Amino acid sequence: MDHSRVPVLEALQEFRRRGDVAYGPPGHKQGRGADPRVAEIVGMDVFRSDVLSLNGLDDRRQSQGVLQQAEELMADAVGAEHAFFSTCGSSLSVKTAMCSVAGPGEKLLLSRNAHKAVISAVIINGVEPVWVHPKFDTERHIAHPPEPDDVRARLREHPDAKGMLLITPTDWGTCADIRGVADACHASDVPLIVDEAWGAHLPFHPGLPTWGMDADADLVVTSVHKMGGAIEQSSVFHLQHDRISPDVLKQREDLLGTTSASSLVYATLDGWRRQMVEQGHGLLDTALHRAERIRARLRELPGLRVMGGEIIEEGLAAEFDPLKIVVDVRELGISGMQAAEWLRAHCHIDVGGSDTCRISASITHADDETEKLLLESVRTLVERADTIERQPPVHLPEPHVLELEQAVLPRDAFFGPAEQVPAERAVSPPR
């Protein structure tokens, strides 16, 4: 296919060239009604590019097939049979994927280290979750993805399960053995959904962890705004094989998705795909070298423990995304959350994530001089850590304590009768 083509961007360019005047939404009429004070901050081109897909970029019959062409190019770029764009982020895409595999009262295997979107889908759809517990790392107090043997065991216990949803990479960059999990699912003739929200970049460089489609997953959801180059809320479904019908997936997406899809999301998804096909290897190669330099420099600083390939050697994860810089700061006498707040307040940088133990930073193809800023800021944090107020130590529970019994379906619990009371009136748990 001709990956120099960008159907959505070309349609947007043609819309502007024609000078069409729309008498329907959006009400700002391509910026003519936008408050100049707003346009001064966000830019007038944001409004000019905010066009309806129908009767704008395409007609009501979709006779030009603008979106379909862009989705076919995306599928070809990443080795999928089908691709569908979503403008409501992967939170909606994960819900859609789950609803395409299991219905109310049916069982679905789920990684227990799940995103809010997964829990929301369980509540909305009324499925019975069969939790597959992650690989707990007691030393680092972190959860890595489940292993294939764990999935096989749960499928044996629940042969009526309709499929499995696996989260990989995690927020901390640790990755599952997707092929092993896919083999386990397919041996039971059920599909594997991969929530690969943090993995949109994976198809475009061999030095990155295995891409879900290449590892035989049936349906992979990516958030291109996370590690790619599209704007917020840009998400893509990637589908292959025949265990999940593309018609069913599209129907479920239509049920949950917006009727006012953003052309800004479509256009940036389209443009990012072209960029990655044409330049992705070089851009990601540069990013990988940059991340390795950052990791090496941080390891020289006292009081920091930088996570890397050793988690694979220790058998805790199948792969690790080297573009995730994960730094344990406990030896500085502070928590990761304190470190994140201090860096924001004193160095004006926002790390990608933090918890009791660590902070993380995502390096993408967009980073340049930000490398120097990150290193200088963390070095300053190390030098001034003793000025940060010491907090009482947090006693983290052992993993087995977190493995609670599921007494009722999450949907029943969520919609069940409840009484809202102030915290001081809440009943203390029995000792």
pTM: 0.93
List all residues 6 or more positions away from 273 whose beta carbon is below 8 Å from its beta carbon: 3, 6, 70, 73, 74, 77
Domains in the chain: ranges and CATH: 65-255 (3.40.640.10), 280-387 (3.90.1150.10)
| Backbone dihedral angles phi then psi of residue 253, each to the nearest 5 degrees | -65, -40
Write out the DSSP string of 194-260. EE-TT-TTGGG-TTSPPPTTTTT-SEEEEEHHHHSSSPTT-EEEEE-SSSS-HHHHHHHHHHHS-SS
The answer to whether residue 430 scores a pLDDT higher than 70 is no
CA distance 240 to 238: 7
The answer to whether residue 104 scores a pLDDT higher than 90 is yes
Average pLDDT (231-244) is: 95
What pLDDT is recorded for position 331?
Answer: 96
CA distance 241 to 244: 7
Q: What is the mean pLDDT of the chain?
A: 94
- Give the pair of three-digit tokens for residue 44: 């007038």
Q: What is the pLDDT of residues 248-266, one digit of tens each?
A: 999 999 888 888 888 999 9
Average pLDDT (4-15) is: 94
What pLDDT is recorded for position 62?
Answer: 82
Kindly report which listed range (61-70, 316-325, 344-353) carries the lowest average pLDDT score.
61-70
**With contact defined as beta carbons under 8 Å apart, do 372 and 338 qualify?**
no
**With contact defined as beta carbons under 8 Å apart, do 84 and 203 qualify?**
no
Average pLDDT (274-279) is: 98
Q: What is the CA radius of gyration of the chain?
A: 23
What pLDDT is recorded for position 431?
Answer: 57
% of the chain with per-residue pLDDT over 90: 81
Average pLDDT (70-96) is: 94
What pLDDT is recorded for position 400?
Answer: 79
The answer to whether residue 146 scores a pLDDT higher than 80 is yes
The answer to whether residue 319 scores a pLDDT higher than 90 is yes
Handedness of CA 312, 317, 323, 327 (dihedral sign): negative
Structure-token match 């290193």, residue found: 375
Query: What is the Cα 245 distance to its own chain's centre?
Result: 23
Helix or strand run (H / E) with residue 145: none
Q: What is the pLDDT of residues 134-143, one digit of tens each?
A: 999 989 999 9
What pLDDT is recorded for position 429?
Answer: 63
Write out the DSSP string of 101-123. H--TT-EEEEESS--HHHHHHHH
Handedness of CA 91, 234, 366, 349 (dihedral sign): negative
In one letter, which amino acid is 304? L
- Give the pair of three-digit tokens for residue 56: 């704008």
SS3 of 398, please?
A: coil
Average pLDDT (322-329) is: 98
